[in-house]
Amino acid sequence: MALSLLRHTTPEVAKGVCYGVTDLPLAASFEAEAQRVCDALPEVRCIVASPLQRCRQLAERIAAHASLKLYLSRDWQEMDFGSWEGLRWSAIPRHEIDAWAADFMGYRGHGGESVSQLSERIARALKATPEDALVVTHAGCIKAALALTGDPEGWNARPTFGSITRLDVRSDRFSRL
């Protein structure tokens, strides 16, 4: 089963700001970015998207363009960064960032989700997503999916806005296409 994971287009937010579940609007460049995405779409059977508007609006555009059914799934929503949401990364106390680095998978000192919780959610989402779907989602979700595939880039991947990552998902064995 192949899945295409599409990172949403550019949100309207200052660079260097921590945002996860914050429901940000899309940047003024949305129309041009959405057209580029539509022009580059692989063949897919349906669309699944995070309900956050930066994914939902792009997914709605693609669904209309390709005449496909759209399903919303909270499992594909970005990680909740708790008290860090909306802060500049540089404003987060250094000792908190260091604590997260020391316990990357388990840290929840910000009051939101741990990376492990995100990973569990994405594992569930991968199992529930229909074959040959396009998933409009977030960088953290794509990184989690890559880590679950055993991709050596995994958590260090840097999916850009509007980029597509293809995964081959077969009975709990994943590989990047």
- Joined together, the tokens standing for residue 56 give 């939902």
Instruction: Say whether pTM exceeds 0.85.
Output: yes
pLDDT tens across 14-61, in order?
A: 999 999 999 999 999 999 999 999 999 999 999 999 999 999 999 999
Directed axis angle between helix 139-149 and helix 115-128, to 10°? 80
- Joined together, the tokens standing for residue 111 give 């009051």
pLDDT at 175 over 60: no
Count of structural domains within the chain: 1
CATH number for the domain that contains residue 117:
3.40.50.1240
If you average pLDDT over residues 124-143, what whole number do you get? 96
Domain hosting residue 161, numbered range: 2-176
Of 129, 131, 157, give the one whose Cα is nearest residue 143: 157
Continuous H helices in the chain:
30-39, 53-66, 94-102, 115-128, 139-149
Size of the chain in residues: 177
